[in-house]
Amino acid sequence: MNALITLPLVPLRESDNERSELYTQLLFGERVEILETRERWLFVRNLSDHYRGWVDRKMVQLLSSTEEELLDKAPTYIVQVPLTLCDKTQTGEKMFLPGGSIIRTTNRDELIVGENTFHINASELVGKSETDKQKVVQLALQYLHAPYLWGGKSILGIDCSGLVQVVFSMCGTQLDRDASDQVESGKAIDFLTEAKAGDLAFFENASGNIIHVGILLNSHQIIHSSGWVKIESIDSNGIISAQTGEYTHKLRVIKRMV
């Protein structure tokens, strides 16, 4: 059985406990496959990026086979601003949806699930299209100064790979959740001087494991989430702190996703 996320953000955790580590967040409109049921918790797989974890069952909406079929057939739109206002028309309640939220509907600005109807500003939605490098940069810049949050995927808290995943999803390209998996995609660029806006730079730790990722603005600047989302200088060795002038992340490889 599958379920739909109809809250702005839902935590996906390592285990069936509210104190458990936050793996990632599920965004409004994403669907999950239920793999295991345990009292008030569900072990699920995000159908967007295949990430697995535990979610509180009251925070997801189970889908009937008819609802599932309608969602499968409907065009897909993505929220392309950091936050957009959504109206729950039956009750008049309002909520903010984070960038990257998914709207599957034939009516573009209206999503109907069961007895609930959600209305969204159509001007802040975009249909799936070919990813444009400059669009990637433009959308990433919207997240400047967002605080770092391990597992976060919104303007109110986001980690390095979450920033990359959300920005690319807004442009119609679905990437894996973690930097260590994202690095497996794309075409390697041999030299930083050959990098273009929208390329991804991946960084390693002392053991050679990929632990960080950012979006290149050009061959000498990068936007990334480390403490907060910021723009810093980069050279062939890595990222140079704007505050201390020291290297903070060691460059491993540059990948072109589009």
Lookup: tokens for 137: 């940069």
Tens digits of residue pLDDT in 96-108: 999 999 988 877 7
Rounded CA separation 5/28 (Å): 5
pLDDT of amino acid 130: 61
> Any bridge partners for residue 53, and if so which?
44
pLDDT of residue 120: 86
Residue 119: the pLDDT is: 87
| Cα 161 to Cα 164: distance, rounded to the nearest angstrom | 5
Predicted pLDDT at 229? 98
Task: Find the distance separating the first CA and the last CA of the chain, reported in whole Å.
Answer: 34
**Residue limits of CATH 3.90.1720.10 in the chain:** 133-256
- The yes-or-no verdict on residue 91 having pLDDT over 80 is yes
Model pLDDT, residue 112:
79
Bridge-partner residues for 60, per DSSP?
A: none
**pLDDT at 60 exceeding the cut of 70:** yes
Using CA atoms, how far apart are residues 50 and 69, in angstroms rounded to an integer? 20
Would you say domain 133-256 falls under CATH 3.60.20.10?
Answer: no
Residues of the chain with CATH 2.30.30.40: 2-127
117: pLDDT strictly greater than 90? no
**Is the pLDDT higher at 123 or at 159?**
159
pTM: 0.94
If you average pLDDT over every residue of the chain, what do you get?
A: 93
Q: 3-state SS string over 192-253?
A: HHHCCCCCEEEEECCCCCEEEEEEECCCCEEEEEECEEEEEEECCCEEECCCCCCEEEEEEE
Q: Does domain 2-127 have CATH number 2.30.30.40?
A: yes
Helix H or strand E encompassing 135: helix 133-141
122 confidence band (pLDDT: 50, 70, 90): confident
Which two tokens mark 184? Answer: 């497996």
